[in-house]
């Protein structure tokens, strides 16, 4: 008489679907696969044919060191209990309910893909863009390949003073010759070569001590050849007088800014200007749908129990510019069949266990991790701790799972489902083939890699690498 092996045994691992192959998804997979007991197997389901999420499509091309984290992800992918299921969109190609039927546990690691809006007049003008689109464009994300960026103006404005704002400023100001060696998208590089942008103004509604960027990001720009950093000396010196008790990062930022305002001025072709205490009120158009500038209100600090807030002074001013980016943070978007907190832009959860609504009942065997769990804050490494913590919750929940309907919870059943949808699924081996073609194409051009910018190009490259067999 045959007995069913217990759930979590090597013969019957806990079968997990992780949705989203960015850092949060990979770190969760790593934490699960590292365990000896219970034993897990992981299918990493990803909308794009390629893995690595924001490491591939968010981290700036001139930050190759940060992208080195993919080496860790590659190790995870080598596990024989790991499968990559690329080019499959959950909510469209397969439903959340189908995943729940085919896996013992499902983890959503889908990130926060959309941009937050300023909610001011003129935001819809042609040259006012979300930061997400510019970042996706220079990183060859297929969704942003044809985004119409016009770099013919001499001044660009970036609203918001986080790391993404400084990434955008740096890419606009850095010499194209330096970018040419990276994995920047080919068409973005060509456009940047003819860019006329010479000044980027980053606008902050609060002061130097409240800047959201990390010191290394500003230091990177200050170190660029031919680039000057201009700061409001009075604002920086005012904050430098109140360093006691402020957070270490804020202190380092202010000290760095103080050293920059005190440094001897040098000739520079291009300038980064940080405009503190200013809040945008209108993107100004030229009457023909193009941007001609930004109208701002001067703000002033209000100190309260929650820290320093900005208050409008009623005093307005205008900055001419042909390009405005809003870089005020990312926001999650809902997946069909998965609970969503529209106010916070996250999947509602308690310590990673998904709830039907904020504060509602826990949805069995369903988890969220990364930005879609906690909001779009933190660096790549922050997701490692998050992945480990959510994996712990999943381990705790294993005894309450039913090892029923094993026939549905098998690789074969998932493969049959995908085949029935006639999807062009990419495996990790397929990604490795795409990777090899990109790296080789990059070598020909003296670049780290030349990325494909469309799904079609990737699938065609796969066909060339392994053409389908002719019928006998
Ligand atoms: P962020 O760090 O949250 O910064 C958003 C900025 O937008 C803040 O300066 C915020 O100012 C401002 N803002 C928000 N609403 C605004 C409004 N209505 N008007 C004007 N300004 C407004 O967001 P992010 O830059 O998108 O970065 C997201 C996360 O990714 C961060 O954790 C970041 O560190 C990380 N990241 C890291 C790197 C890196 O390590 N190299 C690179 C890119 C991104 P207030 O503070 O006044 O709200």
In the predicted model, is pLDDT for residue 405 greater than 80? no
Predicted pLDDT at 339: 98
How much is the average pLDDT of 59-84? 97
**In the structure, what pLDDT confidence band is assigned to residue 228 with cuts at 50, 70 and 90?**
very high
Predicted pLDDT at 472: 52
Predicted pLDDT at 471: 55
Predicted pLDDT at 4: 78
CA 211 to ligand 1 centroid distance, Å? 9
**In the structure, what pLDDT confidence band is assigned to residue 409 with cuts at 50, 70 and 90?**
confident
| Nearest by Cα to 70 from 214, 183, 189, 186 | 183
The alpha helices in 114-175, defined as continuous H runs, are 131-138, 163-173
CA 466 to ligand 1 centroid distance, Å? 43
In the predicted model, is pLDDT for residue 468 greater than 90? no
Give the whole-angstrom CA distance, residue 18 versus residue 465: 28
Q: Which residues line ligand 1 (CB under 6 A)?
A: 118, 159-165, 167, 204-206, 210, 212, 214, 217, 279, 327-330, 376-379
Atom 36 of ligand 1: nearest residue by CA position: 163
- Quote the percentage of the chain above a pLDDT of 70: 97
Predicted pLDDT at 146: 87
**In the structure, what pLDDT confidence band is assigned to residue 470 with cuts at 50, 70 and 90?**
low
Ligand 1 pocket test: which of 117, 160, 278 has the largest number of ligand atoms within 8 Å of its C-beta? 160
In the predicted model, is pLDDT for residue 10 greater than 60? yes
**In the structure, what pLDDT confidence band is assigned to residue 2 with cuts at 50, 70 and 90?**
low
Count Cβ neighbours within 10 Å for each residue of 50-80 and write b for 16 or more, e otherwise.
Answer: bbbbbbbbbbbbbbeeebebbeebeebbebe
Atom 31 of ligand 1: nearest residue by CA position: 377
Atom 16 of ligand 1: nearest residue by CA position: 328
Atom of ligand 1 nearest to the CA of 116: 15
In the predicted model, is pLDDT for residue 402 greater than 90? no
In the predicted model, is pLDDT for residue 285 greater than 70? yes
In the predicted model, is pLDDT for residue 467 greater than 90? no
Q: Which domains does the chain have, with CATH numbers?
A: 14-113+332-426 (3.40.50.720), 114-330 (3.50.50.60)
CA 174 to ligand 1 centroid distance, Å? 21
Instruction: Compare 269 and 5 and report the one with higher pLDDT.
Output: 269
Q: Which residues pair with 278 in a beta bridge?
A: 298
pLDDT tens, position by position, 433-463 = 999 999 999 999 999 999 999 999 999 999 9
pLDDT tens, position by position, 120-156 = 999 999 999 999 999 999 999 999 998 889 999 999 9
How much is the average pLDDT of 157-176? 98
Predicted pLDDT at 403: 59
Instruction: Match 């400023």 to its residue by tokens.
Output: 169
For the record, the structure tokens of 399 come out as 């005894």
Atom of ligand 1 nearest to the CA of 382: 32
CA 131 to ligand 1 centroid distance, Å? 11
For the record, the structure tokens of 120 come out as 């001011």
Give the whole-angstrom CA distance, residue 21 versus residue 23: 7
Q: Containing H/E element for 156?
A: strand 155-159
Q: Which residues pair with 291 in a beta bridge?
A: 285
Backbone angles phi, psi at 88, to 5 degrees: -125, 120
How much is the average pLDDT of 346-358? 98
Say if residues 115 and 130 touch (Cβ distance below 8 Å): yes
CA 85 to ligand 1 centroid distance, Å? 32
3-class secondary structure, 29: helix
In the predicted model, is pLDDT for residue 429 greater than 70? yes
Task: Give the chain's mean pLDDT.
Answer: 95
Atom of ligand 1 nearest to the CA of 330: 26
How much is the average pLDDT of 340-362? 97
In the predicted model, is pLDDT for residue 73 greater than 80? yes
CA 130 to ligand 1 centroid distance, Å? 13
How much is the average pLDDT of 380-393? 97
The pTM score is: 0.95
Give the whole-angstrom CA distance, residue 368 versus residue 292: 42
Q: Containing H/E element for 432?
A: helix 428-444
How much is the average pLDDT of 288-303? 96
Chain-centroid distance, C-alpha 39: 30
Cis geometry, peptide bond prior to residue 155 (ω within 30 degrees of 0): no
| Nearest by Cα to 141 from 357, 430, 381, 458 | 458
Ligand 1 pocket test: which of 116, 164, 379 has the largest number of ligand atoms within 8 Å of its C-beta? 164
Predicted pLDDT at 200: 98
Alpha-carbon torsion (298, 301, 306, 307), positive or negative: positive
In the predicted model, is pLDDT for residue 469 greater than 80? no
In the predicted model, is pLDDT for residue 404 greater than 70? no
How much is the average pLDDT of 108-114? 94
């Amino acid at each position: 008489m045959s007995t069913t092996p217990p759930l979590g045994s090597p013969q019957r691992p806990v079968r997990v679907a992780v949705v989203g192959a960015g850092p949060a998804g990979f770190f969760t997979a790593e934490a699960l696969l590292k365990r000896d007991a219970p034993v897990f197997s992981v299918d990493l389901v990803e909308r794009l044919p390629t893995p690595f999420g924001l490491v591939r499509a968010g981290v700036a091309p001139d930050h190759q060191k940060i992208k080195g984290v993919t080496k860790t992800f590659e190790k995870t992918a080598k596990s024989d209990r790991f499968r990559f299921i690329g080019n499959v969109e959950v909510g469209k190609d397969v439903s959340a309910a189908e995943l729940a039927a085919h896996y013992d546990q499902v983890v959503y690691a889908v990130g926060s893909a959309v941009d937050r809006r300023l909610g001011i007049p003129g935001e819809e003008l042609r040259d006012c863009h979300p930061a997400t689109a510019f970042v996706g464009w220079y990183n060859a994300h297929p969704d942003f390949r044809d985004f119409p960026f016009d770099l013919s103006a001499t001044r660009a404005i970036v609203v918001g003073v986080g790391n993404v704002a400084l990434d955008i400023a740096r890419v606009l100001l850095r010499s194209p010759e330096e970018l040419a060696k990276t994995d920047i998208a080919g068409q973005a590089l060509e456009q940047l070569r003819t860019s006329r942008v010479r000044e980027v103004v980053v606008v902050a509604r609060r002061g130097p001590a409240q800047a959201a960027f990390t010191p290394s990001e500003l230091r990177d720009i200050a170190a660029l050849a031919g680039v000057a950093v201009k700061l409001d000396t009075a604002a920086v010196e005012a904050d430098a007088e109140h360093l006691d008790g402020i957070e270490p990062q804020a202190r380092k930022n202010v000290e760095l800014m103080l050293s920059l305002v005190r440094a001897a001025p040098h000739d520079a072709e291009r300038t980064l200007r940080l405009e503190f205490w200013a809040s945008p009120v209108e993107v100004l158009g030229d009457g023909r749908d193009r941007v001609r500038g930004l109208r701002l209100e001067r703000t002033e600090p209000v100190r309260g129990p929650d820290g320093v807030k900005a208050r409008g002074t009623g005093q307005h001013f205008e900055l001419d510019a042909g390009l405005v980016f809003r870089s005020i943070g990312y926001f999650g978007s809902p997946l069909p069949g998965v609970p969503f907190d529209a106010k916070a832009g996250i999947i509602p959860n308690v310590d990673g266990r998904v709830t039907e609504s904020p504060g509602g009942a826990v949805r069995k065997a369903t988890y969220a991790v990364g930005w879609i769990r906690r909001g779009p804050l933190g660096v790549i490494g922050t997701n490692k701790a998050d992945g480990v913590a959510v994996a712990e919750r999943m381990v705790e929940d294993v005894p309450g799972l039913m090892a029923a309907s094993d026939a549905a919870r098998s690789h074969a059943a998932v493969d049959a489902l995908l085949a029935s949808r006639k999807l062009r699924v990419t495996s990790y081996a397929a990604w490795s083939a795409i990777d090899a073609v990109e790296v080789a194409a990059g070598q020909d051009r003296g670049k780290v890699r030349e990325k494909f910018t469309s799904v079609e190009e990737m699938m065609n490259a796969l066909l060339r690498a392994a053409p389908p067999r002719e019928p006998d």
